[in-house]
Amino acid sequence: MKTLAAVLAVVPLLGCGGSTAPNRQGTAYFTIDQASCAYLGTKSVTFYIADLEAGTESLLSGATSLGYLTKATSAYASAGNPVVHAKLANYAGSAALWTQRTSITVPANGSVTHTVKC
């Protein structure tokens, strides 16, 4: 009887090894607004999510960026997150162009494509 009691006490603990927390990540894709940030060819673009550099890529005008894994909006403690922006290198001669900082909604287990504006 003591063995049965011990087994029954341990069985509920076996289920605690896995995580029951929901996945609170999503993927953000970016495009560059062709009206306010128009350029020809490709530009080196650095994307920022929540003030952290997410990545730099050579982006053809009108193309969509690679996907960047980020925390979902629901994972942030305060509303209006994450805030994103980008820097286009050598936009006008040697000067870089920074885009507007914008709040986006990233769904958990989903994706969003955001058009950054200058």
Distances (CA, A) of 105 to 32, 41, 49, 77, 88: 17, 29, 12, 14, 23
Residue type, 108: A
Q: H-helix or E-strand containing 32?
A: strand 25-32
Domain that holds residue 72: 26-116
Q: How many domains does the chain have?
A: 1
Cα 33 to its chain centre, rounded Å, is: 18
Q: What is the pLDDT along the chain (118 residues), one digit of tens a residue?
A: 444 444 444 444 444 444 455 679 999 999 999 999 989 999 999 999 999 999 999 999 999 999 999 999 999 988 889 999 999 998 887 789 999 999 999 999 999 999 999 9
pTM of the predicted model, to two decimals?
A: 0.78
User: CA–CA separation, 19 vs 5, rounded Å?
Assistant: 26
Is 14 within a domain? no
Q: What is the DSSP letter of 17?
A: S
Is 55 within a domain? yes
Is 18 within a domain? no
Is 92 within a domain? yes
Is 85 within a domain? yes
The closest of 53, 51, 115, 61 to 91, measured between CA atoms, is 61
